[in-house]
Structure 1
Amino acid sequence: MSSVESTTGVVQDGADAAAPIFQDINAEQAVEVVEIESACMRCFQSGITRLLPTKIPFFREVVLMSFKCEHCGYANNEMQSASEIQKSGVRIELNVLNAADLNRRVVRSDNSSINIPEVELEIPVQSQKGEVTTVEGVIERTIAGLSQDQEKRRIDHPTEAESIDAYIDRLRELKELKSPFRLLLEDISGNSFIENPLAPATDHQLKTSHFARSKDQNELLGLYEQNHEEQHLLKPIAEDEWPIENLHGEVLQFATNCPNCQVPCETNMKLTNIPHFKEVVIMATVCSSCGHKTNEVKSGGGVEPQGIRFKVRIAGKEDLTRDVLKSETCSMAIPELDMDVGPHALCGRFTTVEGLLVAMREQLDGTIFHDSADEPSKQKMQRFLNTFDDVLKLQEVITLVLQDPAGNTYVQSLRDDDEPDDRLTVERYDRTYEDNEELGLNDMITENYEQNA
């Protein structure tokens, strides 16, 4: 089948250059499906491949592909991730305890691996095509793959066939949930996902963490680092030639693609200083095609020696006006609503407490596969959104917890420097080994750096 890059080219050639490439699936509006002629891998006759670039709510852009040969009847369906490779890999662990867990949706890319320790099942990276399936579908696909050619194998190699039959029986016992098991999904590209049916509440059966890729994993994705000789060819700019102060007040622009419709646009970037904190880089993008707007803030400094945790008690209107600098490594939680938002759900931004809550509310609305969710799930989400609206109207008192292991998050105090703020608690803590691993600090060489360079 064609690659994602060629798929994008087909859509752009056949449509307006400014039209969104990845469209939402809407029951009221027809979605254009691209059809191309391609060879059947079984009989090598000509067949038709149908391509649908679309977006999975609360996830990323994907290309759904379906092939069918009219000559031999061969059919194949697969999914390829069309979004960019993420900055870090993702590791997801799901404890499967009941039948509802077998129906959890699973989005996995080509670069993901799956492991079920209880039956010693391991599906390596790039051994299967990406797909949108369920936990039960992952097991069923494995059973189907092992069952292939079993009849012939029983005749030619009866001992091996008997061992495979015994292993298939163990997999079927997983589907019958005779005992709980764990599903471990690891994606070095960061583009895989397992559904949380309790969202936006915390799911204690589902654990998600991120990790820094190794050099071999980057090369497997086609990401190569500059070698030592190439680095010396790049002449560093001395600070006296271009001092950092020259960037203050200047707005720089660079070309990018709209994160919503992928149409080319420009991002504005400015370096500024936040009083009582540090220098930050503010980036803003406005798409002239679909009108999508984004703003993102990145820290201009390094990782702090300690992590930081803010607890903001929101009991009055003045609490909603506090300035907040949330870095991309900061996670958020509201204990009263049993809500926990990971660090990568919302990008880094400079806003207010109210702006942060509104952004969380907007991202929750219309997510979690709303188009295909059952009615009880929709009603549960709507009740949560109504409760969130009450919080914004100050009809309920909550505590907003911001925790940043990198220490690059800031919340404004409403009191003078020498006066305590009784609604704001600031705690600094030592990072754990897992925190450093997620930030990529455990493998970082800081001693004798000049000699190692």
Structure 2
Amino acid sequence: MSLISEEDVRGGGSVFRDINADEDWQPTEIESLCMNCYQNGTTRMLLTKIPFFKEIIVSSFSCANCGWSNTEIQSAGRIQDQGVCYSLKVKTKQDLNREVVKADSATAKIPELDFEIPAFTQKGSLSTIEGLLDRAVAGLEQDQPGRRAADPEVADRIEEFIQKLKKLKEVEEEFTLVIEDPSGNSFVENPVAPQRDEALTVTRFKRTVQQDKQLGIRPDDDDEEDDLSEDPAGNDLETMRQEVLVFPTNCPECNAPASTNMKLVRIPHFKEVVIMATNCDSCGHRTNEVKSGGATEELGTRITLHVTGPSDMTRDLLKSETCSVLIPELDFELGMAALCGKFTTVEGLLKDIKDLTVSKNPFVCGDSSTPDRVEKLSEFGKKIDRIIAGELDAHLVLDDPAGNSFVQNVYAPDPDPEMTVEKYTRSFEQNEELGLNDMKTENYQEEN
């Protein structure tokens, strides 16, 4: 039985179908070799979608000869543009119940114990922090009988370490869990969403050449770093401003072939930006992203807009990928890189925030949801709607340490009474996140 039906091939539809109990859709069965007894067993595979999450491949193997079985879940979604690192301070036993999506490319660390689960040593899993610890303990205990027979001293040291891992579940002392995933497909739950989680730090990073090779998106013999400082085709920058560049890509929703349009645009009273838009003819998905076409500013920028009515919703707004968004009245903070760079309106940004925190939150539906969490997020969505309708006054704060964000001044060239723009000196930590501390642009040539 083929995983892709003839109808899907002819119609260009997605081979990943939504979970539907009313649809009679049987998994694919493949005869496979059992790695326990080396007889033939059966592998069952199901290509499906988890609502508000992504496409997955569910596979299950069973052997009728020896009774051995194995189950596995693999992500079938695209590799994200940036890697992601989650750092969580586990302070109470309630933190052990946080749900964790750990991709097989993710590395899990507990610095206090100098413990690390390297990437590609475990299959991807959807679990909790407690389940992650139990899985690590089970992996260490698996070969203990053989170690005790071959090297009792090593077995005793490992047993001592296993007890330390088990003791972490009592949370007698605070410890840190770090999950670093270059594919960007791992996730740690924020139980107080949409509010900021003080115990959880999320950072995005650019993959190294070695990480690209591990993910299979760069040839093994390619050791050159990407150089985007100049146009590889030798095109003149002024010519690029006049035309729309088109290059092939894949749709982030259905993974079908699509085209991305890119153009340089100059924003009045601000600077030049790069606008990229993707439109999928297969599933109809549309997305756009904006990146600054200029350098990082000398000072960071904090823009505070007092939203007083529906007229403020039409203001043009540029949010760069390094910009965080705050709404003090809702006790809400959206970190940098949580939303990609956008050139939109105030209303468009608020709707994107609502979609990200409510509509597209993977832990709002199904077994992962709780009534309190759903009610809290629903109430947050209603407050966003009231701000858009002009029924609730609020302050929208764009804090961009790179200084590449912008909100339209409708009173220009006069000052805007409802908006303040502050310039500030970046901290060492902000420069570190932007990669500026290690960047040297003066006197870098070696002396003869």
Q: Shared fold (TM-score greater than 0.5)? A: yes
Quick check: 11-20 or 347-356, which moved more?
11-20
Q: Which amino acid aligns with 2:389?
A: K
Q: 1:439 aligns with which of 431, 434, 439?
A: 434
Match of 2:254? 261
Pair 258,72 (structure 1): closer, same or farther in 2 beyond 3 Å: same
Match of 2:268? 275
Q: 2:376 aligns with which of 373, 380, 384?
A: 380
Q: 2:398 aligns with which of 395, 402, 414?
A: 402
Aligned partners of 1:212 and 1:440 also within 8 Å: no
1:57 CA displacement: 5.6
Distance 2:137 2:237 in 1: 60
Match of 2:293? 300
Quick check: 49-58 or 91-100, which moved more?
49-58
- Is 1:204 aligned to residue 198 of structure 2? yes
Pair 275,362 (structure 1): closer, same or farther in 2 beyond 3 Å: same
Pair 29,299 (structure 1): closer, same or farther in 2 beyond 3 Å: farther
Match of 2:366, SS state, is: coil
1:266 CA displacement: 2.0
- Is 1:344 aligned to residue 359 of structure 2? no
Match of 1:5? none
Aligned partners of 1:21 and 1:262 also within 8 Å: no
1:130 CA displacement: 2.0
1:58 CA displacement: 5.7
- Is 1:133 aligned to residue 127 of structure 2? yes
Match of 1:4? none
1:45 CA displacement: 2.2
How many residue pairs end up in the alignment? 438
Distance 1:318 1:229 in 2: 46
- Is 1:104 aligned to residue 98 of structure 2? yes
Match of 1:66? 60
Aligned partners of 2:204 and 2:337 also within 8 Å: no
Match of 1:16, SS state, is: helix
1:236 CA displacement: 5.7
Pair 339,235 (structure 1): closer, same or farther in 2 beyond 3 Å: closer
- Is 1:390 aligned to residue 379 of structure 2? no
1:110-154 C-alpha deviation (Å, 9 max, x unpaired): 222112233332212222222221101111111111222434544
Q: 2:84 aligns with which of 59, 82, 90?
A: 90
TM-score of the superposed pair, with normalisation by structure 2: 0.87
Pair 214,347 (structure 1): closer, same or farther in 2 beyond 3 Å: closer
Distance 2:159 2:431 in 1: 44
Q: 2:419 aligns with which of 424, 428, 432?
A: 424
Pair 149,236 (structure 1): closer, same or farther in 2 beyond 3 Å: closer
Distance 2:328 2:293 in 1: 31
What does 1:15-414 align with in structure 2 at a 5 Å threshold? 15-16=8-9, 18-27=12-21, 29=23, 33-55=27-49, 60-222=54-216, 223=218, 242-363=235-356, 364-369=358-363, 370-372=365-367, 373-414=369-410
Aligned partners of 1:332 and 1:403 also within 8 Å: yes
Distance 2:299 2:26 in 1: 51
Q: Which amino acid aligns with 2:111?
A: P
Q: Which amino acid aligns with 1:436?
A: N
Distance 1:348 1:136 in 2: 35
1:59 CA displacement: 5.1
Match of 2:9, SS state, is: coil
Distance 1:305 1:62 in 2: 44
1:413 CA displacement: 0.8
1:409 CA displacement: 1.4
Distance 1:160 1:294 in 2: 54
TM-score of the superposed pair, with normalisation by structure 1: 0.86
Match of 1:43, SS state, is: coil
- The alignment-based identity, stated in percent, is 47
Quick check: 184-193 or 138-147, which moved more?
184-193
Distance 1:82 1:330 in 2: 30
Match of 1:254, SS state, is: strand
Aligned partners of 1:23 and 1:53 also within 8 Å: yes
Q: Which amino acid aligns with 1:322?
A: R
1:142-185 C-alpha deviation (Å, 9 max, x unpaired): 11112224345445544433333333222222223333322111
Quick check: 249-258 or 305-314, which moved more?
249-258
Distance 1:326 1:380 in 2: 26
Match of 1:136, SS state, is: helix
1:106 CA displacement: 0.9
Pair 179,165 (structure 1): closer, same or farther in 2 beyond 3 Å: same
1:349-408 C-alpha deviation (Å, 9 max, x unpaired): 211101111122123214232222122222222222222222222221111111222222
Structure 2 alignment gaps of length 5 or more:
none
Pair 46,309 (structure 1): closer, same or farther in 2 beyond 3 Å: farther
Q: Which amino acid aligns with 1:438?
A: E
Pair 24,302 (structure 1): closer, same or farther in 2 beyond 3 Å: farther
Match of 1:126, SS state, is: coil
Aligned partners of 2:78 and 2:252 also within 8 Å: no
Distance 2:51 2:400 in 1: 26
Q: Which amino acid aligns with 1:123?
A: I
Aligned partners of 1:85 and 1:191 also within 8 Å: yes
